[in-house]
Amino acid sequence: MTVTDTTPAPAHQVGGPILEASGVTMRFGGLVAVNDVNLTVREGEIVGLIGPNGAGKTTFFNCLTGLYKPTSGQVRFAGTPLPPKPRAVVKAGMARTFQNIRLFANMTALENVMVGRYCRTSAGALTSVLHGPKFRREEHETRVRAQELLNFVGLGRSTEHLARNMPYGDQRRLEIARALATDPKLILLDEPTAGMNPQETKQAMDLIFKIRDSGLSVVVIEHDMRFIFNLCDRVLCLVRGEALIEGTPGEVQSDPRVIEAYIGTGEDDDEDDDDRPQDVTEEAKS
Amino acid sequence: MTDVQTETPAAEVPAAPKAKPFAWPLGLVGVALVVIGSFLSWSYDGTILNNLSINFYPGGLQILAIVAAVLALVLLLAEQQGPLSNLGNWLDATLGLRVLGTGLTLYMALVLVAISVESDGLINVNPGGYVSFAGAALLAVGAWLLPLRPQLRNLSEARTPAWLDILAIAVLMAALLFVAAYALGLEDAWSFILCLLFVAVVATALFRTGAMSWVAQAGQRHRKVLTLASFAVAFLFPFTQNGSDANMSIATAVLVFGATAMGLNIVVGLAGLLDLGYIAFLGSGAYVAATLSTSAFATIGWKPPFLVVVLVGACVAAVLGLIIGSPTLRVSGDYLAIVTLGFGEIFRFAMFNLDGNNGPNLTNGPNGIPGIPDLEVFGFNFGVAHHPFGIELGRFSNYYFLLLVLIGGVILAFTRLNNSRIGRGWVAIREDEKAAEAMGVNVFGLKLLAFAVGAFLAGLAGTIKAHQDGAVSPDQYIFLESAFLLAAIVLGGMGTIAGVLLGATILKLLPEKLRFFSEYRLLLFGVLLVLMMRFRPEGLVASRRRQLEFHEEDEELAEAVEHKLLVEEAK
């Protein structure tokens, strides 16, 4: 299955490939959670990742971001292979958010974003203790940049709020701001609108467009089909760990296999959406 | 600038308090009786409790009772219309009175017990003692009958002129110095305990009235003044001792313990790593200083100046920290605790066995290295007494000042690391290690750094400790010491400065001052820790963040903290 797509270029500027994942496979014992998935993301592109629950979308994300070391396959970012270490991945320019929000709950919004700046600053222990010029410069820059990012995602007035006290939608946006603080070239969003009402979803979509317009590439996992088909330039559909189809929203939307994967055909296979190892391994053999 | 006090009018409409008309006069009578009783003789025996036997010549404990009574009088007056009624709007006087009344009754009861234990039986209590006791009881009853009044204003949000803030800090610090000097000057255990009880009661009463929250706010606004005042008080303490070394030796021990605990506080309180073998780093610093000293038993021929020794000792400890840390920091929680515990024991046994029989002779084994000479830095001999301004400062005072500089450095390192990107990284790791890693925080590196910095500071303290003790031996660095350091942190409040220093003082001072206490200290500290874990897991002085972490479910607390943050931001 080749993934290098030939879809017509979207209206905005799309550059060369920034992320190239080829043949990514992740096995947990006998269970093949992700099987030989390829994905290419270009600069300035929004790519959607859909699939029924348990299709391996988040596992695939974890393989990309170094939380898991893929059993086989390679992830290249801006032309160089990524080591399977989360920190190195962030340093290379790929940041992520989490499906279940993982903010630093007892820190304020500003502090959360400032933590995101960690990997782009380097003041050591000595200059921190002595308050050397480097420390002061970096600390000031970090604070200013963090506030900018909070303004960017629309949380400029919540600077001193504790993350745990913020409304759900704000927490999602704060997580995006924190990811943006790492100066990424590509941002991976894991279900950014889960649990949001239509209005918040609309705001999230605007925010993602804004992020894209500032020159970043975006990969989004979502279950909200309207959201994903309105947002994305391309969509990859994963089913039981395998890439089912990849194409423009229109192509994916009308593909009978996608509909089948979500709704089922009414035949023998019960659609309890979980990866069942025997099924997957059988498919892997064939 | 917004005027905060106008933003918070009385939140709830004052419910008409059901007044018991006799409650207030009852309290007044109680206060009067306490004062009158305190001017009379308390005990027949003049040789106990620093002589409470003379009429109209109150002894120390009687003066404390009078002070508490006067404080109660002020609060009583604040309850009613009159010159102090304005104060009553700000203070929650009733709560304070309840604490004072109950505490004073307890105090008097303890005095009676003390008299009957020290001499033979209650027969030796003179009428004054009973009068004061009855007065205290009346005050307590009156206070509990007084209705709780809705507080009109919150003192913590009061805005007062800067000079008043600074004056309050100065008065508090002066009182602290005076009380410390007075309490340490008390020779017998009963007086000391009663004095501690008095301090605890008055402090609790002030907290309950809300007066302390105002002082705390004042301290927040004038942080530099507070810090300077604290150090000034600590600096002045030796001058109150008239050259006596008895209390200064305790004070230096407290400082060594406190400095080490502060170092451990970086590891435990900031980075959230449980280290049960921390005393080994203090030990390694001390052993380095000992072996490089001019002691006749020192095993290494190189005798560098002390400043070099300090650096070498600290660096050796830091390297040990890195060596123990790099393989073990990949495990977390319980495993790390066990490994560090093991390391502490390895250190002790290594020092025990490096005696020439089982390896090179570095430490003289169980004999240790005695006869370490006093420090002499830039011609200043720490071993002899000095007489600045005609006041004698003995050997321990010299070390006390050096340790004060050390602890200042440790506190500086602690706060500044905490308020840097490194500190933020540590908090992030404590909160969610996976997320921190995924946000580019160098989790392993930061943990290792905490270990190394903590070890470095302990090594620093160790080099001074070796000279101050004059000897090092393996049995000084047992597991129990590590446990005590950890207990000081947990008791005082993880991640705080004031709390850990308070915890260190309590844990070191009480066994030194109270001989009978030292026999049961393990039992008593154990009980104390269990109670703390049940009722106040964040420690005596709570760090804002730790408090939040310990009360994950407490929404109100989170709101309150956030409100504080917003108020600070507004200012």
What's the ipTM?
0.83
Segment among A105-114, A220-229, B3-12, B198-207 with least mean pLDDT: B3-12
Select from A151, A183, A215 the last residue of a domain: A183
Predicted local confidence at residue A212, as pLDDT? 93
Give the DSSP letter of residue B268.
I
Q: What is the mean pLDDT of residues B118-142?
A: 88
* Burial (0-12, 13-18, 19+ Cβ within 10 Å), B553: exposed
Residue type, B473: S
Provide the domain count of chain B: 3
Minimal C-alpha gap between B507 and chain A (Å): 29
For residue B7, what pLDDT is reported?
40
Residue B144's alpha-carbon distances to A242, B138, B210, B356, in angstroms, are 73, 10, 18, 70
Burial degree of A31 (CB within 10 A; 0-12, 13-18, 19+): middle
The reply to whether A154 falls in a domain is yes
Examine the domain organization and report whether A158 and A221 are in the same domain.
no
Domain match, A113 and A89 both? no
A237 and A118 in a common domain: no
Range from A271-280, B208-217, B245-254, B458-467 carrying the lowest mean pLDDT: A271-280
Helices H / strands E in chain A, number of each = 11, 10
B181 and B49 fall within a common domain: yes
Contact A172/A207 with Cβ under 8 angstroms?
no
- How many CB atoms are closer than 10 A to CB A177? 25
Q: Do B395 and B509 have their domain in common?
A: yes
Chain B neighbors of A87, CB-CB under 8 A: 437, 440-443
- Bridge partners (DSSP) of residue A237 are A50, A245
Question: How far apart, in Å, are the Cα atoms of B228 and each of B175, B234, B252?
Answer: 16, 10, 20
Residue A140 forms part of a structural domain:
yes
Q: Do B555 and B532 reside in the same domain of the chain? A: no
In this model, does residue A47 exceed pLDDT 60? yes
Per-residue DSSP letters for B434-467? HHHHHTT--HHHHHHHHHHHHHHHHHHHHHHHHH
Task: Express as a percent the part of chain B with pLDDT over 70.
Answer: 94
Q: Which of A67, A118, A159 sits opposite B421 (nearest CB)?
A: A118
CB B117 within 8 A of CB B23: no
Tell me: do A178 and A189 sit in the same domain.
Answer: no
Number of neighbouring beta carbons within 10 Å of residue B167: 13
Interface contact A116-B440, CB threshold 8 A = yes
Check whether residue B177 and residue B92 sit in a common domain: yes
Closest Cα of chain A to B211: distance in Å? Answer: 27
Q: How confident is the model at residue B147 (pLDDT cuts 50, 70, 90)?
A: confident
Distance CA A187, CA A179 (A): 7
Q: Tell me which of B220, B237, B254 is where a domain ends.
A: B237
Domain end among B180, B202, B237? B237
Chain A contact for B120 (CB, 8 A cutoff): no
Residues B551 and B533 in one domain: no
Same domain, B218 and B346: no
A198 in the same domain as A175: no
Q: What is the pLDDT of residue A134?
A: 92
Mean pLDDT of B453-470: 92
Categorize the per-residue pLDDT at B403 as very low, low, confident or very high, splitting at 50, 70 and 90.
Answer: very high
Higher pLDDT, B43 or B89: B43
For B273-310, write each residue's pLDDT tens digit: 889 999 999 999 999 999 998 887 777 878 888 889 99
The mean pLDDT value for A214-242 works out to 90
The winner for highest mean pLDDT among A105-114, B216-225, B506-515 is: A105-114
Say how far apart CA B161 and CA B271 lie, in whole Å: 38
Residue type, B292: L
How far apart CA B471 and CA B473 sit, in angstroms, is 7
Beta bridge partners of A28: A31
- Identify whether residues B307 and B232 lie together within a single domain: no
Tell me which amino acid residue B26 is.
Answer: L
Between B501 and B216, where is the model more confident? B501
Pair A117, A251 in one domain: no
Question: Which CATH number covers residue B282?
Answer: 1.10.3470
Q: What is the DSSP letter of B20?
A: -
pLDDT band at B5 (very low <50, low <70, confident <90, very high): very low
Model pLDDT for residues A59-99, shown as the tens digit of each residue? 999 999 988 899 999 899 988 898 888 899 999 999 999 98
Residues of B in Cβ contact (< 8 Å) with A120? 440
**Domains of chain A: total:** 2
How far is the alpha carbon of B502 from chain A, nearest alpha carbon, in Å? 24
Query: Which of A183, A205, A220 delimits the end of a domain?
Result: A183
* Calpha distance A223→A225 (Å, rounded): 6
**Is residue A99 domain-resident?**
no
Whether A108 contacts B561, CB under 8 Å: no
Flag whether pLDDT at A269 surpasses 50: no
Q: Tell if the CB–CB gap between A125 and B412 is shorter than 8 Å.
A: no
CA distance A138 to chain B (A): 9
| Same domain membership, residue A84 and residue A1 | yes
Say yes or no: A84 and A188 in one domain: yes
A135 within a domain of the structure (yes/no): yes
Pair A113, A98: CB distance under 8 Å: no
Q: Clarify whether residues A10 and A75 are in a common domain.
A: yes
Q: What is the mean pLDDT of residues B100-124?
A: 88
* pLDDT value of position B156: 63
pLDDT score at B528: 86
- Indicate if B197 and B48 belong to the same structural domain: yes
Confidence of residue B504 (pLDDT cuts 50, 70, 90): very high
Residue A253, pLDDT > 50, answer yes
AA letter at A224: D
- Taking alpha carbons only, the member of B569, B293, B556 closest to residue A157 is B569
CATH assignment of the domain containing A212: 3.40.50.300
Contact A107 B558 (CB under 8 A): no
For residues B343 and B391, state if they share a domain. yes
Sequence-distant (≥ 6) Cβ neighbours of residue A119 within 8 angstroms: A87, A90, A91, A182, B439, B440, B441, B442
Of residues A152 and B121, the one with the higher pLDDT is A152
Q: Is the same domain home to A167 and A191?
A: no
The answer to whether the CB of B222 falls within 8 A of the CB of B165 is yes
Q: Are A106 and B429 within 8 A, CB to CB? A: no
A116–B contact, CB cutoff 8 A: yes
B537 vs B409: CA distance, rounded Å: 28
Rounded distance between C-alpha atoms, residue A278 and residue B319, angstroms: 52
To the nearest whole number, what is the mean pLDDT of chain B?
Answer: 84
Sequential DSSP letters for B184-221: HH--SHHHHHHHHHHHHHHHHHHHHHTHHHHHHHHHHH
Please give the Cα distance from B123 to B560 (Å, whole number).
53
Distance of alpha carbon B30 from alpha carbon B140, whole angstroms: 8
Q: Are B367 and B299 in contact (CB under 8 A)?
A: no
Residues B55-99: pLDDT tens digits? 888 888 889 999 999 999 988 888 877 777 777 777 788 888 899
Domain end position, chosen among A153, A183, A213:
A183
Distance CA B287, CA B280 (A): 10
Same domain, yes or no, for A196 and A263? yes
What pLDDT is stored for residue A144 in this prediction?
94
Q: Regarding predicted confidence, which is higher, A169 or B6? A: A169
Same domain, yes or no: B211 and B298? no
Residue A209's domain comprises: 1-93+184-286
Contacts of A104 in chain B (CB under 8 A): 427-428, 431-432, 435-436
Provide the residue range defining the domain that includes B514: 244-540
Q: Is the pLDDT of residue B476 over 70?
A: yes
Quick one: average pLDDT of B471-487?
Answer: 90
Q: State the pLDDT at residue B219.
A: 80
Look at residue A98 and tell me if it is in a domain: no
Q: Are B560 and B529 found together in one domain?
A: no
| Average confidence (pLDDT) over B213-239 | 84
Mean model confidence pLDDT for chain A? 85
Clarify whether residues B397 and B519 are in a common domain: yes
Burial of B327 (0-12, 13-18, 19+ CB in 10 A): exposed
B230-248 in b/e burial notation, b at 16+ Cβ within 10 A? bbebbeebbbbbeebbebb
Residue showing tokens 């400790």? B465
Q: Are residues A178 and A222 in the same domain?
A: no
Q: What is the pLDDT of residue B318?
A: 95
- Give the residue from B313, B337, B334, B570 showing the smallest Cα distance to B466: B313
